[in-house]
């Protein structure tokens, strides 16, 4: 006879045949609910193979109920059957938050430090949302209701700007894809989440501002080192993370050759202009060679100080949105200068000076067309202004 199981839990019961397992009544052990081995005089009854099928059947059922218990889910008959009939194993030891920690640890092998920090920050926001709204974070609760409530929490409670909300959703979708690929869930609702980024102002130094900063004689060595590091980024287009990891072995007489962290580009080559060479020469055979490096937090504070001293203080307006609410702010330009603006300065001024778009993009390694086109639009707009100023009144 086939072996049948009766599963009962919290008011519902399910009867199922254990596929591929059968037994004679005389070989069935009522107490252990397993098939007994045959007597020596009897033919082999496949008790080992059939008992293995029964073991796996029972283990999967218990793992599903343990999953419900750990995640405080009051299951229905349908909830149980969906998981039981799935070919995938039940992951009871990895809930949403535990999996996210694993996602971060795994990412450390391939992602840059800045990306890992953004993952940790995003996870703290998800936890804050869960705690304040008493919303359970599980793979099956990342649904449309989650998206609406999380959006309201970010905009109204946290006053999160639209572009940062977009990054939070992007990080969540990246994690959910990773977890699905690892067999932790089958929920695909997250794929419908949409939170597009809004285009924001490109902050950069004009050529005059850059050269004023480059040529200024600062009174302290601290500011001189920060200025040189920043200007080197403006003359090469390298990201802060790549500048920080630059070694003398990466530098030859006329170019830099290195592996780019963010885009995983191997043997990327950046030609050196005379200003970049002069900065490298300054630190040759010193403890700072090839460049003096400090933490990004201190760097961003000190470069603002440098720009304030040299009077890069043009009133600059920025616009941000929280939901549909518009926020306008005007500040001195030095207040907006960070390590990220060095790369933007290189691209914009290179295009203004007449370098071909393809050459600039090859140097910077920009992968996204839409990102690079923003700089082209700015350069073309500035060229038009210069043309109008030069030829407007003759």
The pLDDT tens digits of the residues spanning 340-354 come to: 999 999 999 998 888
Helix 221-236 and helix 296-309: axis angle, to 10°?
A: 100
The region, left, alpha or beta by phi > 0 then psi within -120 to 50, assigned to residue 316 is beta
Owner of token pair 């907006």: 336
Is the CB of residue 262 less than 8 Å from the CB of residue 343? no
**Which CATH number fits the domain 207-391, given the four candidates 3.90.420.10, 3.40.50.10330, 1.10.443.10, 3.40.50.720?**
1.10.443.10
Which of the pair, 391 or 278, is modelled with greater confidence?
278
Residue 93 has pLDDT above 50, yes or no: no
Q: Which of the residue ranges 87-96, 162-171, 238-247 would you say has the lowest mean pLDDT? A: 87-96
Residue 97: Cβ within 10 Å count? 14
The pLDDT tens digits of the residues spanning 132-168 come to: 999 989 888 899 999 999 999 999 999 999 999 999 9
The two structure tokens encoding residue 27: 């070989």
The two structure tokens encoding residue 28: 């069935």
C-alpha 158/C-alpha 127 separation (Å) is 13
Q: Sign of torsion, CA 250 256 257 258?
A: positive
Which of the pair, 90 or 252, is modelled with greater confidence?
252
pLDDT (0 to 100) of residue 201:
85
CA of 275: how far to CAs of 214, 235, 271, in Å? 9, 7, 12
C-alpha 244/C-alpha 248 separation (Å) is 12
Residue 92 has pLDDT above 70, yes or no: no
pLDDT above 90: percentage of residues in the chain? 53
The pLDDT tens digits of the residues spanning 281-333 come to: 999 999 999 999 888 889 999 999 999 999 999 999 998 888 888 889 999 99
Residue 311: Cβ within 10 Å count? 13
The two structure tokens encoding residue 353: 């000076």
Average pLDDT over residues 194-221: 92
The strand pairing partners of 4, in sequence order, are 17
pLDDT (0 to 100) of residue 325:
87
Average pLDDT over residues 76-91: 74
Contacts of 268 (CB under 8 A, 6+ apart): 257, 258, 259, 260, 365
Render the burial of 347-372: b for 16+ CB within 10 Å, e for the rest.
bbbbbbeeeeeeebbebbbbeeeeeb
Q: Write the class of the CATH domain 96-192.
A: mainly alpha
C-alpha 244/C-alpha 294 separation (Å) is 8
C-alpha 253/C-alpha 77 separation (Å) is 72
Q: Sign of torsion, CA 197 201 207 209?
A: negative
Instruction: Return the closest-CA partner of residue 211 out of 273, 271, 257, 256.
Output: 273
The region, left, alpha or beta by phi > 0 then psi within -120 to 50, assigned to residue 231 is alpha
DSSP state of 251: B
The pLDDT tens digits of the residues spanning 160-202 come to: 999 999 999 999 999 999 998 888 888 899 999 999 888 888 8
pLDDT (0 to 100) of residue 91:
52
Pairing of strands 34-35, 28-29: antiparallel
pLDDT (0 to 100) of residue 87:
66
pLDDT above 70: percentage of residues in the chain? 94
For the chain, which residues make up each domain, given as ranges? 2-84, 96-192, 207-391
pLDDT band at 262; cut points 50, 70, 90: low
Provide the mean pLDDT of the chain. Answer: 88
């Amino acid at each position: 006879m086939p072996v049948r199981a009766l599963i009962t839990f919290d008011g519902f019961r399910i009867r199922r045949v254990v596929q591929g397992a059968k037994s004679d009544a005389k070989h069935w052990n009522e107490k252990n609910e397993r098939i007994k081995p045959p007597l020596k005089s009897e033919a082999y009854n496949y008790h080992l193979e059939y008992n293995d099928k029964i073991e796996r059947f029972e283990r999967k059922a218990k793992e599903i109920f343990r999953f419900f218990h750990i995640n405080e889910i009051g299951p229905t008959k349908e909830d149980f059957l969906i998981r039981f009939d799935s070919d995938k194993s039940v992951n009871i030891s990895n809930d949403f938050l535990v999996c996210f920690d694993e996602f971060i640890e795994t990412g450390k092998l391939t992602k840059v430090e800045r990306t890992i920090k953004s993952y940790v920050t995003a996870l703290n926001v998800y936890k804050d949302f869960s705690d304040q709204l008493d919303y359970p974070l599980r793979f099956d609760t990342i649904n449309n209701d989650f998206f609406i409530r999380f959006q309201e929490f970010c905009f109204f409670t946290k006053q999160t700007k639209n572009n940062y909300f977009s990054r939070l959703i992007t990080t969540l979708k990246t994690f959910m894809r990773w977890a699905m690929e690892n067999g932790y869930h089958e929920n695909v609702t997250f794929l419908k989440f949409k939170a597009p980024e809004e285009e924001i102002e490109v902050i950069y130094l004009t050529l005059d501002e850059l050269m004023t900063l480059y040529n200024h004689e600062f009174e302290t060595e601290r500011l001189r080192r920060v200025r040189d590091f920043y200007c080197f980024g403006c003359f090469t287009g390298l990201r802060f993370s790549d500048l920080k990891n630059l070694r003398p072995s990466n530098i030859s007489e006329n170019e830099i050759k290195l592996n780019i962290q963010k885009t995983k580009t191997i043997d990327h080559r950046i030609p050196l202009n005379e200003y970049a060479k002069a900065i490298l020469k300054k630190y040759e055979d010193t403890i700072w060679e090839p460049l003096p490096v400090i933490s990004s937090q201190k760097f961003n504070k000190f470069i603002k100080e440098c720009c304030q001293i040299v009077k890069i203080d043009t009133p600059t307006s920025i616009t941000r949105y929280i939901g549909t609410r518009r926020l306008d702010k005007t500040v001195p330009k030095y207040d907006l200068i960070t390590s990220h603006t060095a790369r933007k300065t290189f691209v914009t001024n290179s295009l203004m000076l007449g370098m071909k778009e393809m050459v600039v993009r090859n140097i910077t390694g920009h992968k996204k067309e839409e990102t690079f086109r923003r700089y082209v639009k700015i350069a073309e707009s500035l060229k038009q202004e210069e043309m109008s100023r030069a030829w407007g009144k003759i």
